[in-house]
Amino acid sequence: MTTSPYTLSLDLNDFRQAQVIDASDYVEASLLEGEIMVRVDRLALTANSISYGFAGKAGLIRYLDIYPATMGLANLPCWGYGDIIASNHPDIAMGTRVYGFLPIATHIRMQPDKVTAGGFTDVRVCRSVVPPFYNEYAFTHAEPGYRRELEDLIMLFRPLFGTSFLMQSYCDDNSFHGASRIIVTSASAKTAMGFGYLLKKHYGGRIETVGLTSDKNRDFVISLQCYDSVLSYEEVAEIKKGEQTLIFDVAGNANVVKALHMQLGDTIPYSGSVGKTHWDVGSFGQTGALPGAKPIFWSAPDQIAVLRERMGSGAMMRQMSAAMTDLMMAAQNWMALSESQGHEAITQKIRAMLDGHIGAHEGVILRP
């Protein structure tokens, strides 16, 4: 399928609305010295992708600034794969396939630096507004265990499982703040799945895990066997108070967080906001005064910095990749993949996700 170059930009005030921006001149212009051109092949659209948009809009982390857009519009970043179709960089060859943070667009220019056998960092000025982790690209031929047929699952779970891995690492580093129970909201989200999976695998019998989800997703979440118990949001009042309990809010639903704090009060030593899968409820990370520890924004980049300082980036990624292997084997039985090709189909899929019409079991792949 031949497609004219374009970028699909979202309305900053309503992500359901999109504009197709012609990118023909952008693609046809000569590369500057040291630049490369990447043809975006496939992207994963997840709840985390949408959370990047809301976090960027709220100014928590400037995800929406790394691919500058026309005033009033935003270019949503997603994790995915692309191929280098032109190179004016002496150390990067055409035809190389890369994995990393990409816009919903057919093409993107990059300025590689810190090139190694495993990948490079895009050092364009606009990329400096986010932590370095988001600017790093891996050469697929150098990825241990890489298999092209697993790309869709890798895109869906690798960045989200990375967050799951970092959440577990944070808990371990802080001795779970003395808690013996963890409650995770939006338990059907892939970030929450991975977190529950890791907790049950490494701390089963020591740390109790409770997954909160909607009634419609409850049976699916139970089938994952990632949590010790699964409750609907309407059943928060049934959670017994007594033991120290951590809260990780993946939903970003202030009403649910309030209900948990009112129910558990001063037995909450830590309450972290991780994402916002409930996009239509309140502002990202905003809660009023509540009993227990004050809800705060949990920062994955901060934990990345801790691990890099402790073990280095390479060792961190190796540990993360090893931890993800088992999850991906299990995830093949959890997920039903769908593919949307072209800007019209992609726009419809984004709207469906924002409107809550994407099932928890569906893995959404975009093909610009």
Check which CATH number belongs to the domain holding 355 and give it. Answer: 3.90.180.10
288 and 181 both lie in a single domain: yes
- pLDDT tens-digit readout, 9-36: 999 999 999 999 999 999 999 999 999 9
| 186 lies in the same domain as 241 | yes
**Has residue 79 been placed in a domain?**
yes
- Whether residues 21 and 112 fall in one domain: yes
User: In the structure encoding, which two tokens stand for residue 157, read together?
Assistant: 């779970």
Q: Are residues 82 and 41 in the same domain?
A: yes
- Looking at the structure, tell me whether residues 128 and 196 fall in a common domain: no
Domain identity same for 136 and 169: no
State the pLDDT at residue 300.
84
Q: What's the Cα-to-Cα distance from 282 to each of 135, 155, 252, 288, rounded to whole Å?
A: 30, 29, 8, 12
Do 123 and 180 have their domain in common?
no
Amino acid 94: pLDDT: 96
The two tokens of residue 285 are 């990370």
Residue with tokens 């810190």: 114
Q: What's the pLDDT at 1? A: 52
The pLDDT value given to residue 276: 59
What local confidence, expressed as pLDDT, does residue 72 receive?
A: 93
SS3 214: coil
- Widest CA span of the chain, in angstroms? 65
Per the domain annotation, does 330 fall within a domain? no
How distant, in Å, are the alpha carbons of 13, 85, 150, 362 from that of 54? 10, 32, 29, 22
* 294 shares its domain with 339: no
* Helix H or strand E encompassing 263: helix 254-264
Tokens read off for 14 = 């309503």
Q: Enter the DSSP assignment of 245.
A: E
173 and 281 fall within a common domain: yes
Residues 173 and 295 in one domain: yes
Where in the sequence is the domain holding 202, given as residue range(s)?
160-302
Q: What pLDDT digit, counting tens, does each position of 333-361 carry?
A: 778 899 999 999 999 999 999 988 888 78
CATH number at residue 237: 3.40.50.720
Q: What does the pLDDT read at residue 88?
A: 97
The answer to whether position 149 is within a domain reads: no
Give the number of residues written for the chain: 368
Q: Got the DSSP string for 137-195?
A: EEEGGGSTT--GGGHHHHHHHHHHHHHHHHHHHHHHHTGGGG-SEEEESSTTSHHHHHH
CA distance 267 to 244: 5
Which of 175, 163, 184, 273 lies closest to 228 in space, CA to CA? Answer: 184
Distance (Å, whole) CA 134 – CA 271 = 25
> Which pLDDT score is estimated for 281?
52
pLDDT (0 to 100) of residue 25: 94
Tell whether 289 is covered by a domain. Answer: yes
Question: Which residues on adjacent β-strands are paired with residue 43?
Answer: 80, 366
- The pLDDT score that the predictor gives to residue 44 is 96
Which segments in the chain show pLDDT lower than 50? 279, 284
Indicate if 192 and 273 belong to the same structural domain: yes
Domain count, the chain: 2
Contact 255, 286 (CB under 8 A): no
Radius of gyration of the CA atoms of the chain, in A: 20
User: Cα separation of 157 and 159, whole Å?
Assistant: 6
10 with 138, same domain: the answer is: yes
* Residue at 319 is within a domain: no
CB neighbourhood size of 152 (10 A): 20
Q: Report pLDDT digits (tens) over 211-241.
A: 999 998 999 999 989 999 999 999 999 999 9
